[in-house]
Amino acid sequence: MAKKENKSLEIPKQEVIKVDEMERTRSRHCYIPKTDIYETEDEIILVADVPGADQDSVDIALEKNILSINAFVETDVPASYDRIYSEYEGGDYQRSFRLSDEINQNNIKAVVSNGELRLHLPKAEPAKAKKIKVKAA
Amino acid sequence: MVSKFRVPARWREMDQLQREMNRLFEGSSVKHTSGSHKYPAINLWANEEGQIIKAEMPGIKADDININVTSDTLTISGSRTHDKAVENTRYHRQERGYGSFTRTLQLPFMIDTGSVEATFKNGVLDIRLQRAESDKPKKIAVKSE
């Protein structure tokens, strides 16, 4: 029964095949970080799994409407040990999203903790839903 | 045109090559099993003194991870929780998994359960196990008479 519950946790890492027709110069594995995106009343929140990356190794760029996330992960291989069993490979992360115009691009906040990147993308003022009061005549 | 008589010789070469390749792969004891979808995925390193287990568990707090050891098994369990649902939340994309997990590993040798160290950094769990003193290979001196 417990097995059924965490089935969604078991999806293996997915490797980047080609990003924007651009090829990579680093000879490392590169993965697409699994990402949740959800929207609240004031902001859009993007949460991405980047295990191994910290705040210094995550690089976020916003050019025009393209938000790109790059994380460079240095995998430390234990010295004087032999790897005897392996289920995952360490590597970088790369992913881009096209943002809609309704994001206030000057107020984006990014936090990395426990290998999880959390981006807060505040909505621009006009995009917020306006509530119109109906007055009784 | 390949002469009929040369083919067997080439096959022998091919056979030789294949045997060498097989030996090469058999010799490397690293098993890649990306097909097994157990959570968390682990990597295991070992030497004569002990072993290191690493697991990627992003988005989980160190307090939410439980590690239990016996002399030859190790169990990692915990859970990853959803973000608190705020009112009027609308999901655009949900790729990350949530829920509780338990994984038990059979260790290749007996360990000293008193000296297990575990650290959790940037979503990567690192467990260091020391091989039990009684389980270490002993060198036996051969006496000459």
B27-61 pLDDT tens trace: 545 555 544 567 899 999 988 888 999 999 999 99
> Could you give the ipTM of this predicted complex?
0.75
Q: Nearest CB to A41: which of B34, B83, B88?
A: B88
**pLDDT value of residue A66:** 87
- In angstroms, the CA B42 to CA B40 distance is 6
For chain A, say whether B96 makes contact (Cβ under 8 Å): yes
**pLDDT value of residue A126:** 67
**pLDDT value of residue A4:** 43
Calculate how close chain B gets to A59, using CA atoms only, in Å.
Answer: 15
Cβ–Cβ of B41/A88 closer than 8 Å? yes
For chain A, say whether B59 makes contact (Cβ under 8 Å): yes
Q: Which residues of A touch B52 (CB under 8 A)?
A: 78, 81
- A56 or A24: which carries more pLDDT confidence? A56
Which backbone phi and psi does A105 adopt, to 5 degrees? Answer: -75, -10
* Chain A interface test: which of B26, B30, B43 (most A C-beta within 10 Å): B43
For chain A, say whether B52 makes contact (Cβ under 8 Å): yes
Please give the DSSP secondary-structure letter assigned to residue B34. Answer: T
In this prediction the pTM is 0.73
Q: Smallest Cα–Cα separation from B122: which of A110, A39, A56? A: A56
Q: Smallest Cα–Cα separation from B29: which of B53, B13, B47, B12? A: B47
B120 token code pair: 């959790």
Residues of chain B with pLDDT under 70: 1-10, 23-37, 85
| Contact present, A55 and A33 (Cβ < 8 Å) | no
- Identify the band that residue A48 occupies on the pLDDT scale cut at 50, 70 and 90: very high
Position B51: which residue type? Q
